[in-house]
Amino acid sequence: MLLPIVLLAACNPKNEPVRLQGEAQGTYYTIAYYDEQHRNLQPQIDSLLHDFDLTASLWEENSIIRKVNRHEDSVINDMFNDLLEKSWTINEYTNGAFNCEIGALVNLYGFGFKNREDVTEHQIDSLLSYVRSSETIVGTFVEDSIYKKIFLSEGVELDFNAIAQGYSVDFIARMFDSLGIESYLIDVGGEVIAKGLKHNGEPWTVGIERPAENKYSEQEIETAIGLHDMSVVTSGNYRKYYEKDGVRYSHTIDPATGRPVSHSLLSVSVVSREAWYADAMATSFMVMGLEKSLQFIAEHPDNPDIQAVFFIYDDHGEYKTYATPEFQQLIIEK
Ligand code: AMP
Ligand code: MG
């Protein structure tokens, strides 16, 4: 697919970064990088993102994940394996709040929750038995260290959406690293990684979105942070959700109940060294809710990758934010 491309770099002075914009994964990307040769890396970036979709996108009919979910005899690649392993690592770390086997339940509710009214207790319970089973992935199979196949038990569907966008940001970052580009800012749909400093010696500036009133609201920036060799990812319930009897249900499913989470947490932004990690933890915190997340962070004081800010409506309907001390240090303006 050909996408509209804006290349703003054409006649930049030498100390200005190359700036690219494009579309991927149903959203936008904007990328800035310092490169003495002022190379236009857009074709490489687009092809990288396309390759990524062919592995992990649920919207790509013939992606590996779709084939695996159809229980076809699919050959998986290193990236798929890596996504799976990372997902299990976070699953264990978060005591199950994060679970890439949630796919069948996400589908049950339907994209945008189109089937939500028809969902029965019985359906939820029967799909939950797959999510909770440790036997769901029957095994992977390596042949001549090339063909790697995966077999899912009947009923199980994988979903990497909670980690995929962040992972793709890291994927582009690795490409820049391999090209010797030492200073860049990559933003795919609001999931960001910043490496090095700008040429004026300052860190890259990233706006943290204020949770919008509803899915139609304009984007507003709550605060700005300075990022240096770090990534920031936001998960929220204000873009994808449905409302019933005045309660908002997000597109995040609690694997413990099989139901969309519904609590006062509007959104959470997580700062980590790698974007896949920030992405996975932001989703996990949306599942846990504010209190459990703050407790989790307190119980893991040595983890530098869970610097976070939480946006909530408290019991009185008042808008509040909670930031970890490490996150507060990143704030450069209010
Ligand atoms: P994110 O926007 O990164 O928070 O990802 C949300 C998406 O991840 C949802 O649209 C689902 O496809 C998937 N998802 C929902 N609940 C979970 C969960 N508990 N663990 C892992 N993925 C989930
Ligand atoms: Mg996520």
**Which position has the higher pLDDT, 140 or 5?**
140
Ligand 1 nearest atom to the CA of residue 283, by list position:
4
* pLDDT at residue number 125: 83
CA of 44 to the centre of ligand 1 (A): 28
- What would the mean pLDDT of 132-156 be, rounded to a whole number? 58
Q: Is the pLDDT of residue 134 over 70?
A: no
Question: Quick check: helix, strand or coil at residue 132?
Answer: helix
Q: Give the integer Cα–Cα distance in Å for 181 and 233.
A: 22
Model confidence at 171: pLDDT above 80 = yes
Which bin fits 50, alpha (ψ -120 to 50), beta or left (φ > 0)? alpha
Which of 288, 282, 211 has its CA nearest to residue 256? 288
Does 283 sit in the ligand 1 pocket, CB within 6 Å? yes
Q: Is 98 in the pocket of ligand 1 (CB under 6 A)?
A: yes
Place of tokens 């002075």: 13
Distance 166 CA to ligand 2 centre (A): 7
Atom of ligand 1 nearest to the CA of 100: 21
User: How much is the pLDDT for 248?
Assistant: 64
- What pLDDT sits at residue 146? 46
Where is pLDDT greater, at 32 or 110? Answer: 32
pTM: 0.89
Q: Is the pLDDT of residue 136 over 80?
A: no
Please determine, for residue 144, whether its predicted confidence score (pLDDT) is greater than 60.
no
Percent of the chain with pLDDT over 70: 80
Closest C-alpha to 102, from 243, 330, 270, 256: 256
Reported for 65-70, long-range contacts at CB under 8 A and 24+ positions apart, including other chains, are 65/158, 65/159, 65/160, 68/150, 68/152, 68/158, 69/103, 69/152, 69/157, 69/158
Q: Is the CB of 280 under 6 A from ligand 1?
A: no
Give the Cα separation of 108 and 155 in Å (integer).
12
Give the pLDDT band (50/70/90) at residue 187.
very high
Give residue-wise pLDDT tens across range 8-33. 444 455 678 999 999 987 889 999 99
Neighbours of 317 (CB within 10 A): 7
Amino acid of residue 55:
T
CA distances from 43 to 22, 26, 329 (A): 10, 18, 37
For range 259-267, the mean pLDDT: 87
Helix (H) or strand (E) holding 179: none
Residue 119: the pLDDT is 78
pLDDT at 334 over 70: no
Pick the more confident residue, 107 or 327.
Answer: 327
Beta partners for residue 32, in sequence order? 19, 185
* 80 close to 64: Cβ distance less than 8 angstroms: yes
Ligand closest to Cα of 189 equals 1
Q: Kindly state if the Cβ of 106 falls inside 6 Å of ligand 1.
A: yes
Residue range 270-310, pLDDT digits in tens: 999 999 999 999 999 999 999 999 999 999 999 999 999 99
Measured CA to CA, the distance from residue 231 to residue 226 in angstroms comes to 10
Nearest ligand to the CA atom of 267: 1
Give the nearest ligand 1 atom to 99 CA.
Answer: 20
pLDDT value for 70: 86
Q: Check pocket membership of 87 for ligand 1, CB cut-off 6 A.
A: no
